[in-house]
Amino acid sequence: MVESELTDFDADQRLLAMNGVSLVIFTSVGCASCRFAREVLPGFGLAVDRLCWIDAGNNGGLVERYQVFHLPALFVVRDGAFFGALNSRLETTELNEALTKALTRTAEELP
């Protein structure tokens, strides 16, 4: 699974240029659930082309634009289009079901 680190400075440009499905995950080093997500998500058989990690503590602009209120926070982007937040437990089947459902929504511009 391809993984990328995104920042306030490059996230929009990179997400708009990426083909396929990207799972954008906001985390923080002080968050136990975030450390768990970083450990297990790359090994899950998720229906995504890449995982895009954003450190919420260092990227306040993205946190504000994506309206992140809890961590980890997961969002779906496909071919530069925004499909919203994923509300799911960190479990393979449930995440894949949430991804499938999210991709049926009407696409929007990136926040």
List, in order of start, the domains of the chain with CATH numbers: 2-102 (3.40.30.10)
Q: Cα torsion at 98, 35, 26, 84 (round to 10°)?
A: 0
pTM above 0.85, yes or no: yes
For β-strands 50-55 and 21-27, DSSP reports them as: parallel
**Per-residue pLDDT tens for 27-59?**
999 999 999 999 999 999 999 999 999 999 999
pLDDT-based confidence at residue 81 (cuts at 50, 70, 90): very high
Six token digits for residue 104 = 């049926």
